[in-house]
Every structure is written in C-alpha cells, then in structure tokens.
C-alpha cells in the first residue's frame, strides 16, 4: 500500500495564490460575513415601505414561474386553451403587481435618499432593473399574437426606427420578439436584480437621514449599543471610495 500523500493531503505551497483561491476570497468578500442572509436588521428598519422591495422580488418570482408555464404550450396556446388563458391572466396581473411594488419601492428609496453611504450603485442597478423590466414587459405585449400586439408593434416601430434601434430590434418580427422576451431580457433583468440584491446585502440598509453612528454619539468609555457581534467589514470593491478601501484594509470602521 502506497504511503505517498494524495493530492488532497499534500501540503499546499502558496495555495492562496491560485485563481480558485482568489475567486473564493473575492466571492466571500463581496458581502460582510454573516450578511448574506442575516436574521437581524438595524432597529431603524421598521416601516411598511421596506415591504415593497421584497414584495417586488416575490412578484417577480410569480412573473417568471407563470411565464415558464406559458412557454410549455407555445406562443399561441393561450388563445385556444382555458388553462392557457388563465395562466396568461396570472402572468399579466403578476406583472402589474411587479411594477406597482417596484415603483413604490423606487419612490420610497428616493425619499430615503437611499444612495447615501456609497450606495450609488445600488440605486443605479435598481433603476436599470426598472428600465430592463420596461423592455421585457413591452416585448411581452408584442408577442401576444392578438390585436393588441398588432397595434402596439405597428405604432412602436416608428419611435424605435427614428432612434435607429428598429434596424436591429424589429418589433413586428414575432420570432425575434419571442426570443427577446423569454430568454435575453429575462436573463439581463435577472442579472441586474442579482447585482442589486448583492449590493443591498453588501452595504446594508441605509440609515435614516441625519442619523449618527451610535459609537459617535457615545461618550468615551460608555458601552457599545446592544446587538450581535459586528460583521466583518466588506472587502474593498469597485463601489468603494479610496478612503473606505483604506479603512476596510486596515480593519477599521467609520
């Protein structure tokens, strides 16, 4: 029986320099430890307005699932099947709910100035998700293969053609629009929403306007506020300022 160590038991020399190790460290550092799915939130997260972000995400799940069911029968299925028509109705109303909750969420975040504290990219990805969703919903109306899609496509073509977009994005080509609606745009919106959620978890929920960090308000020697152990600081990322990079690198917090 061989006594030679296997690859897995061999001591690793300079293992932290491998691409895999670097990727792992980068992924782990995207969000502070314990903040991917925390069971505690800052005490100021206590308003109904916070519900609309998660409601928006939940309705997106209903949109996607009902849309996936519609793909089973094909583009024309819902015209001839009562089940298909019902699923189409669920898809339509979940889209309406998705936009309603998204717009309330957006306005809520505007009034909270939720971009404060280096959360600019969080706001920007949210706005991009909104515009991506507009395009996805629009292509959905184009592939209904009914009178609405006839009228909407023949009207919308003029704006798109005038902007030079119609040359590549032909709203009257049902085949092209079906692929954009069920494949390309959902992937793009899904990626943007994923990045948005990552940034939300990375930075945490924005503190109230005018709030000071508790440790700034305390006198020297007074105890820290009650709560769980602080998570580790996020690793330097693309959305951090140079000051913050310096602080996170040295393990200090603002």
CB of 102 to other proteins, least distance (A): 9
CB of 137 to other proteins, least distance (A): 6
DSSP labels, 171-217: TT-HHHHHHIIIIIHHHHHHHHHHHHHHHHHHH-SPPPTT---HHHH
Which residue's CB is nearer to other proteins, number 23 or number 206? 206
Out of 195, 205, 235, 236, point to the residue binding other proteins (CB under 8 A).
205
| Per CB under 8 A, 88 contacts other proteins | yes
H helical segments located in 112-146: 120-142
| Per CB under 8 A, 243 contacts other proteins | yes
Element at 84 (helix H, strand E): helix 82-111
How many other CB atoms are found less than 10 A from the CB of residue 200? 19
CB of 117 to other proteins, least distance (A): 3
Q: CA separation (Å) from 228 to 37, 99, 211, 224, 225?
A: 14, 36, 20, 11, 10
CB of 160 to other proteins, least distance (A): 8
| Per CB under 8 A, 162 contacts other proteins | yes
Out of 1, 13, 27, 37, point to the residue binding other proteins (CB under 8 A).
37
Each residue 54-73 as x (binds other proteins by CB under 8 A) or -, in order, gives: xx-xxx-xx---x-------
Q: Of the candidates 158, 155, 149, which has an alpha carbon nearest to the alpha carbon of residue 177?
A: 149
């Amino acid at each position: 029986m061989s006594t030679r160590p296997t690859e897995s038991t061999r001591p690793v020399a300079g293992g932290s320099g491998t691409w895999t190790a670097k990727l792992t460290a980068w992924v782990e550092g995207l969000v502070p430890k314990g903040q991917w799915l925390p069971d505690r939130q800052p005490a100021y997260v206590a308003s109904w307005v916070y519900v609309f972000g998660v409601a928006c995400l939940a309705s997106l799940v209903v949109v996607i699932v009902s849309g996936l069911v519609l793909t089973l029968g094909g583009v024309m299925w819902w015209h001839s099947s009562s089940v298909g028509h019902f699923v189409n109705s669920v898809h339509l109303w979940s889209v309406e709910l998705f936009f309603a909750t998204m717009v309330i969420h957006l306005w809520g975040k505007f009034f909270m100035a939720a971009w404060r504290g280096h959360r600019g990219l969080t706001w920007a990805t949210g706005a991009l998700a909104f515009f991506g969703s507009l395009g996805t919903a629009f292509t959905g109306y184009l592939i209904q293969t009914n009178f609405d899609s006839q009228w909407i496509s023949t009207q919308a073509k003029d704006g798109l053609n005038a902007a030079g977009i119609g040359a590549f994005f032909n709203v009257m080509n049902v085949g092209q629009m079906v692929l954009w609606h069920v494949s390309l745009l959902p992937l793009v919106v899904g990626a943007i929403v994923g990045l948005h959620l990552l940034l939300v978890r990375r930075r945490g929920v924005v503190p109230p306007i005018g709030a000071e960090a508790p440790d700034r308000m305390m006198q020297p020697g007074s105890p820290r506020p009650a709560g769980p152990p602080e998570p580790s600081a996020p690793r330097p990322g693309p959305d951090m300022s140079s000051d913050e990079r310096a602080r996170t690198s040295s393990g200090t917090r603002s």
